């Protein structure tokens, strides 16, 4: 079964502090992992995907197949990072995304 | 370049009625997917269409259906509405290939069933 678990519903950190949003997955094959973000009153948008190994807005995420995790990290949080973050999984060639429940990140000034 | 457009933005319907939601994908995108977003269940996959064919369907009752037209525009229909169908319905499109190539989402249609 495909499953994505984001253990923290809410996460609050101070500006300038490091941020880590946790994501664990369950998938029998080779998964494709993504992070999507939804800022207040904006549409859901792709933040990054593991296949491209990129850093977007200072965020990075490493796929750890041994721990079946894809945690999102940023060394220094900024107030504009406050948003809802969703981890998502897809099987290669599959036509759907399986989302975690999301983590609401709040950056305090 | 226009994004994914969903209409209407808001809908209020009565239990037992039916509703049709519309989605216009990004120009050139041939794959359109639909998701239901609720506070309790989060984001759940409804179905995906490509070249007017449904390729994948989520675990929803038969009251939920959809279709895609030759211009890639898509509609989803919910019949015999129930209170639990109240949700934000999101449409997403992408060029081709599997989901690993990334979807672009619309702003959604918020459906309230009373």
| pLDDT, tens digit, 9 for 90 and up, residues A81-90 | 999 999 999 8
| pLDDT, tens digit, 9 for 90 and up, residues B44-90 | 999 999 999 999 999 999 999 999 999 999 999 999 999 999 999 99
3-state secondary structure of B29: coil
**Residue of B102, B105, B110 best to disrupt the A interface, most CBs of A under 10 A:** B102
Contact B50 A97 (CB under 8 A): no
User: Do B80 and B60 touch, CB atoms closer than 8 A?
Assistant: no
Judge whether residue A30 has pLDDT over 90.
no
Mean pLDDT for the stretch of residues B26-45: 93
Q: What contacts A65, CB < 8 A, 6 or more positions away?
A: none
Mean pLDDT for the stretch of residues B15-36: 96
| pLDDT, tens digit, 9 for 90 and up, residues B89-108 | 999 998 876 666 678 999 99
Contact A101 B42 (CB under 8 A): yes
Q: What angle do CA A98, A101, A107 make, to 5 degrees?
A: 125
What single-letter DSSP state applies at residue B59? S
Q: Give the minimum alpha-carbon distance from B80 to chain A in angstroms, rounded to a whole number.
A: 26
Q: Residue A22 burial (CB < 10 Å; 0-12/13-18/19+)?
A: middle
Contact B90 A44 (CB under 8 A): yes
Minimum-distance CB partner of B98 among A36, A43, A92:
A92
């Amino acid at each position: 079964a495909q499953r994505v678990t984001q253990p923290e519903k809410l996460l609050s950190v101070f500006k300038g502090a490091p941020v880590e949003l946790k994501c664990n997955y369950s998938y029998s094959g080779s998964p494709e992992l993504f992070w999507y973000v939804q800022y207040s009153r904006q549409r859901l948008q792709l933040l990054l995907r593991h296949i491209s190994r990129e850093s977007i807005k200072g965020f990075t995420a490493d796929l750890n197949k041994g721990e079946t995790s894809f945690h999102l990290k940023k060394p220094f949080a900024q107030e504009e990072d406050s948003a809802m973050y969703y981890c998502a999984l897809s099987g290669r060639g599959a036509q759907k995304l399986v989302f975690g429940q999301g983590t609401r990140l709040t950056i305090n000034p | 370049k226009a994004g994914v457009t969903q209409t209407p933005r808001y809908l209020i319907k009565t239990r037992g009625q039916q509703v049709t939601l519309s989605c216009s994908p990004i120009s050139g995108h041939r794959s359109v997917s639909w998701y239901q977003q609720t506070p309790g269940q989060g984001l759940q996959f409804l179905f995906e269409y490509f070249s007017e064919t449904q390729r994948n369907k989520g675990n929803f009752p038969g009251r939920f259906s959809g279709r895609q037209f030759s211009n890639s525009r898509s509609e989803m229909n919910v019949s015999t509405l129930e209170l639990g169908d109240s949700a934000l319905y999101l449409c997403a499109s992408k060029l081709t290939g599997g989901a690993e190539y990334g979807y672009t989402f619309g702003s959604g249609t918020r459906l309230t069933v009373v």
